[in-house]
């Protein structure tokens, strides 16, 4: 029966579910290694109704906000279980990890799930599920792993959830089964287009992913994990003794190696980091040492920026440090541990659920010197007395995340899912927001140091933003070397993603303090050697010795195009603005051209010859443009993901509306049963 369905293309015949053999050009299908224990039970394959509901809520929250905001407590528990923040005795730990695995897999295949839904018009045939699109995509992902094969249909186990949700899941599963022939055909056409072949069903599904993502998945499977020792509560030697007593093999004298798979080693660069092989991280993450806050799951790339910031601070206490985008508190907690609670830290986070997560993590790790600011950093008042003692700001704005290899590990650490697909408009908006964040940090009166961090490999987000900030700063800021003892002669720290860890880019700026020199007296300046300012643009033009060209004697033929009245002579204010605009360099004009927007339909302000009013209007127009762009940035980054996520539903609604319009009778109404 199965072979007859794929008679035209034998390679599309679904292979066995699992096989120890793999093609040489394919990667082993072993995703999400840190989500599963080493000894799997037969019940791991069962998916219950509450797993589907929790995964659907998490998926919609991730896409809607770009982070886990407004998410259910069940998915937050799943993230904390995967990051080693829930104990082994917790009865729901395994269920939470299963939810996280479903969410991660659905996000990974989200693009192909949307294609299958649109091509088969599943939501057109079953419009009752338009309101639960997240649940539809989760169910489609689970059945896509088996090629929508009826003989291998995945059964969902009923659980204790509201009866209405249970009826929805049962009806959705039955509808997908009735539509399985079209869904399987769409998947087969997609496999032909992507040339996705493999020996097993899972290999064939994995082959749908782009080559770069498959390389990243294969590398992240065996990538070593890093855990940070909480220096506020313990020391590396005490932690090593506790790990040995727990049965782990610890060797702090041996340098880390990619071939070491059984021993916990010490990091050669940072004494508070331990390198844990991926094979034993599953056993360590649920141990009491991690759940009690003595060890914190943190990759090595995120440990560079806090150390650079701490190296710039003076030895005396009483200073204030600001984090422009604290997130869940990984970076803030590391800074607090390095400073030993000597300085006051202000952590900005505007999202409510992330703020609650930040506070809970700080309490669990015993950190007392961090003040959580439930506010947007871009809207903070720089003249507020609370910020007058801030001397250093660390900024890690939103970026493309192209330097992140272990995306699941990053999701566990930061509770954010870095997207894989960005349009050109998104990338331009990202760069603009990164520059605005740096400019906002430089506006605080007593700030002397700014640390800029991105998780991207694109030059526009790294060196491009740095150059733009230095050019627009007017010489007030200068770049200083980042961790010069680790990389002598280098100005920036740039680590590309590799098998050893994720990549990162770090730049540091210091404010230039120019001493006042009183050696030159104003009266000693020779006025004859100075250039007199031009009082009028026209007077400076008249002083030029330009030969006057003779007017052509041939009369111009008056047509509709040439009969347009001559442009009136520009006023002094307009000429001054034109000269300033034309005198700007090309390097400065390109960013403004790249970030240009369509003009709105709002009536433009009249140009005034009064310089005071004109300057005030220009300032208002600039502020209005900035606010419009910032609002558009939020729409681009978050709204773009919403647009892509709800594309199948919008397509289905469009088809349904078209069909309803076609079914309407036109006047006069034709005879439905014509005479024969």
- pLDDT of 612 reads 41
Burial of 545 (0-12, 13-18, 19+ CB in 10 A): exposed
Neighbours of 653 (CB within 10 A): 15
Q: Are residues 231 and 134 in the same domain?
A: no
349 annotated to a ligand binding site: yes
Estimate the share of the chain in helix, then strand, then coil, as percent rounded to the nearest 5: 50, 10, 40
Domain boundary among 169, 186, 219: 219
Residue 304 has pLDDT above 90, yes or no: yes
Over the stretch 123-134, which tens digit does the pLDDT of each residue have?
999 999 999 999
Let me know: does 124 contact 655? Beta carbons within 8 Å: yes
Over the stretch 205-260, which tens digit does the pLDDT of each residue have?
999 988 888 888 888 888 888 999 999 999 999 999 999 998 898 988 877 776 66
Domain of 335: which CATH number?
A: 3.40.50.150
Residue 421 has pLDDT above 90, yes or no: no
Residue 140 has pLDDT above 60, yes or no: yes
Residue (of 135, 205, 203, 120) closest to 166 by Cα position: 135
Mean pLDDT (whole number) for 46-63:
86
- pLDDT of 582 reads 47
In a domain, 536, yes or no: no
**In this structure, what DSSP letter does residue 501 have?**
B
Q: Are residues 179 and 149 in the same domain?
A: yes
Higher pLDDT, 6 or 188: 188
Kindly report the average pLDDT of the chain as a whole number: 75
Report percent pLDDT > 70 for the chain.
Answer: 66
Domain boundary among 297, 312, 331: 297
Q: Are residues 186 and 39 in the same domain?
A: yes
Residue 37 has pLDDT above 60, yes or no: no
Q: Are residues 288 and 376 in the same domain?
A: no
- pLDDT of 321 reads 94
Residue 485 has pLDDT above 50, yes or no: yes
Q: Are residues 383 and 419 in the same domain?
A: yes
Number of domains in the chain: 3
- The confidence band for 608, taking pLDDT boundaries of 50, 70 and 90, is very low
In a domain, 78, yes or no: yes
Domain boundary among 445, 479, 511: 511
Q: Are residues 8 and 151 in the same domain?
A: yes
Residue 87 has pLDDT above 80, yes or no: no
Q: Are residues 92 and 12 in the same domain?
A: yes
Q: Where are the beta strands (DSSP E) in 207-272?
A: 225-229, 249-251, 263-266
Q: Are residues 192 and 230 in the same domain?
A: no
Neighbours of 190 (CB within 10 A): 16
- pLDDT of 541 reads 45
State the Cα angle at 503 between 502 and 508, rounded to 5°: 135
- The confidence band for 601, taking pLDDT boundaries of 50, 70 and 90, is very low
What distance in Å separates the CA atoms of residue 614 and residue 596, rounded to the nearest whole number? 22
Q: Are residues 128 and 73 in the same domain?
A: yes
Q: How far is CA 70 from the centre of its chain?
A: 17
Most confident of 192-196, 409-413, 433-437, 663-667: 433-437
Residues 6+ positions from 434 with CB-CB distance below 8 Å: 397, 398, 399, 452, 454, 461, 465
Higher pLDDT, 642 or 6: 642
- Look up the domain containing 131 and give its range: 2-219
134 membership: H or E segment, kind and range: helix 133-144
Most confident of 18-27, 128-137, 492-501, 558-567: 128-137
- pLDDT of 77 reads 54
- pLDDT of 475 reads 87
What distance in Å separates the CA atoms of residue 326 and residue 373, rounded to the nearest whole number? 9
Residue 308 has pLDDT above 90, yes or no: yes
Q: Are residues 232 and 249 in the same domain?
A: yes
Residue (of 106, 111, 120) closest to 184 by Cα position: 120
Among 77-81, 338-342, 384-388, 528-532, the minimum mean pLDDT is found in 528-532
Q: Which long-range contacts link 668-675 to residues 24+ away (Cβ below 8 Å)? A: none
- The confidence band for 665, taking pLDDT boundaries of 50, 70 and 90, is low
Residue 293 has pLDDT above 50, yes or no: yes
In a domain, 585, yes or no: no
Higher pLDDT, 561 or 578: 578
Mean pLDDT (whole number) for 189-195:
91
- The confidence band for 670, taking pLDDT boundaries of 50, 70 and 90, is low
Q: Are residues 347 and 417 in the same domain?
A: yes
Place of tokens 């594309």: 647
- pLDDT of 548 reads 53
Q: What DSSP letter does each residue of 314-364 carry, written as one string?
A: -SSS--EEEES--TTSHHHHHHHHHHTT-SEEEEE---HHHHHHHHHHHHH
In a domain, 168, yes or no: yes
Among 107-111, 424-428, 510-514, the minimum mean pLDDT is found in 510-514
Among 81-90, 258-267, 381-390, 397-406, the minimum mean pLDDT is found in 81-90
In a domain, 305, yes or no: yes
Higher pLDDT, 347 or 592: 347
Distances (CA, A) of 303 to 128, 145, 294, 312, 385: 48, 37, 17, 15, 31
Q: Where are the beta strands (DSSP E) in 156-261?
A: 156-157, 225-229, 249-251
Residue (of 492, 400, 532) closest to 455 by Cα position: 400
Place of tokens 């990667």: 27
Q: What DSSP letter does each residue of 218-231 carry, written as one string?
A: HHHHSPPEEEEE-T
Distances (CA, A) of 404 to 223, 281, 465, 500, 661: 12, 19, 19, 12, 48
641 membership: H or E segment, kind and range: helix 640-645
Let me know: does 58 contact 71? Beta carbons within 8 Å: yes
- pLDDT of 25 reads 38
- pLDDT of 258 reads 65
Mean pLDDT (whole number) for 512-541:
49
- pLDDT of 666 reads 55
Q: Are residues 123 and 157 in the same domain?
A: yes
In a domain, 347, yes or no: yes
Over the stretch 345-394, which tens digit does the pLDDT of each residue have?
999 998 877 888 889 889 888 898 999 999 999 999 999 999 999 999 99
Domain of 267: which CATH number?
A: 3.30.70.1170
508 membership: H or E segment, kind and range: strand 504-511
- The confidence band for 647, taking pLDDT boundaries of 50, 70 and 90, is confident
Residue 653 has pLDDT above 70, yes or no: yes
In a domain, 90, yes or no: yes
What distance in Å separates the CA atoms of residue 237 and residue 467, rounded to the nearest whole number? 43
Residue 660 has pLDDT above 70, yes or no: no
What distance in Å separates the CA atoms of residue 327 and residue 350, rounded to the nearest whole number? 9
376 annotated to a ligand binding site: yes
Residue 594 has pLDDT above 60, yes or no: no
Place of tokens 């960013």: 591
Q: How far is CA 385 from the centre of its chain?
A: 32
Among 537-551, 574-588, 619-633, the minimum mean pLDDT is found in 619-633
- pLDDT of 323 reads 95
In a domain, 529, yes or no: no
């Amino acid at each position: 029966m199965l072979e007859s369905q794929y008679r035209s293309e034998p390679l599309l015949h679904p292979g066995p579910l699992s096989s120890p053999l793999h093609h040489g050009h394919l990667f082993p299908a072993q995703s999400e290694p840190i989500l599963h224990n080493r000894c799997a039970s037969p019940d791991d394959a069962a998916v219950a109704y509450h797993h589907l509901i929790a995964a659907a809520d998490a998926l919609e929250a991730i896409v809607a906000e770009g982070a886990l905001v407004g998410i259910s407590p069940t998915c937050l528990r799943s993230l904390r279980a995967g990051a080693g923040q829930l104990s082994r005795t917790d009865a729901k730990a395994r269920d939470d990890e299963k939810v996280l695995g479903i969410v991660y897999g659905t996000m990974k295949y989200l693009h192909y799930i949307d294609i299958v839904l649109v091509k088969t018009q599943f939501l057109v045939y079953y419009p009752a599920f338009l309101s639960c699109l997240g649940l539809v995509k989760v169910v489609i992902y689970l059945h896509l792993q088996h090629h929508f094969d009826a003989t291998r249909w995945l059964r969902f186990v009923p659980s204790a959830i509201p009866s209405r949700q249970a009826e929805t899941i049962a009806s959705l599963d039955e509808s997908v089964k009735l539509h399985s022939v079209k869904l399987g055909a769409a998947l087969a056409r997609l496999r032909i287009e992507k040339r996705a072949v493999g020996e097993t069903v899972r290999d064939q599904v994995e082959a749908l992913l782009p080559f770069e993502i498959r390389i990243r998945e294969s590398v992240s499977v065996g990538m070593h994990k890093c855990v940070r020792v909480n220096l506020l509560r313990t020391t590396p030697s005490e932690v090593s003794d506790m790990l040995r007593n727990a049965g782990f093999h610890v060797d702090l004298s041996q340098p880390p190696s990619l071939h070491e798979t059984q021993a916990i080693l010490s990091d050669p660069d940072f004494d508070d980091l331990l390198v844990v092989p991926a094979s034993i991280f599953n056993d360590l993450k649920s141990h009491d040492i991690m759940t009690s806050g003595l060890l914190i799951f943190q990759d090595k790339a995120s440990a560079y920026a806090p150390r650079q910031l701490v190296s710039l601070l003076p030895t005396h206490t009483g200073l204030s440090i600001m984090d422009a985008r604290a997130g869940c508190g990984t970076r803030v907690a590391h800074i607090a541990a390095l400073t030993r609670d000597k300085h006051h830290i202000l952590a900005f986070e505007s999202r409510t659920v992330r703020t609650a997560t930040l506070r809970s993590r700080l309490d669990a790790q015993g950190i007392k010197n961090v003040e959580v600011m439930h506010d947007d950093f871009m809207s903070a008042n720089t003249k507020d007395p609370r910020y007058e003692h801030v001397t250093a700001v660390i900024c890690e704005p939103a970026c493309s995340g192209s330097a992140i290899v272990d995306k699941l590990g990053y999701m566990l650490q930061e509770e954010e899912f870095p997207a894989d697909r960005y349009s050109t408009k998104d990338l331009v908006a990202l760069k603009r927001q990164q520059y605005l964040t740096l400019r906002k940090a430089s506006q605080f009166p007593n700030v002397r140091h700014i640390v800029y961090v991105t998780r991207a490999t694109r030059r526009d987000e790294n060196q491009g933003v740095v150059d733009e900030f230095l050019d627009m700063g007017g010489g007030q800021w200068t770049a200083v070397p980042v961790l010069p003892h680790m990389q002598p002669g280098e100005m920036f720290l740039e680590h590309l993603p590799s098998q050893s860890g994720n990549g990162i880019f770090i730049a540091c700026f210091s404010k230039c303090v120019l001493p006042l020199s009183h050696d030159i007296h104003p009266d000693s300046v020779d006025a004859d050697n100075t250039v007199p300012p031009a009082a009028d643009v026209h007077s400076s033009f008249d002083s030029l010795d330009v030969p006057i060209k003779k007017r052509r004697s041939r009369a111009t033929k008056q047509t509709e195009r040439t009969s347009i009245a001559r442009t009136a002579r520009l006023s002094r204010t307009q000429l001054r603005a034109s000269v300033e605009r034309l005198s700007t360099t090309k390097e400065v004009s390109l960013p403004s051209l790249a970030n240009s927007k369509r003009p709105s339909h709002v009536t433009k302000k009249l140009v005034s010859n009064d310089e005071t009013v004109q300057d005030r209007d220009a300032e208002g127009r600039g502020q209005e443009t900035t606010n419009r762009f910032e609002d558009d940035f939020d729409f681009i980054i978050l709204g773009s993901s919403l647009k892509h996520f709800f594309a199948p539903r919008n397509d289905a609604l469009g088809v349904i509306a078209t069909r309803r319009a076609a079914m309407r009778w036109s006047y006069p109404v034709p005879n439905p049963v014509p005479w024969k």
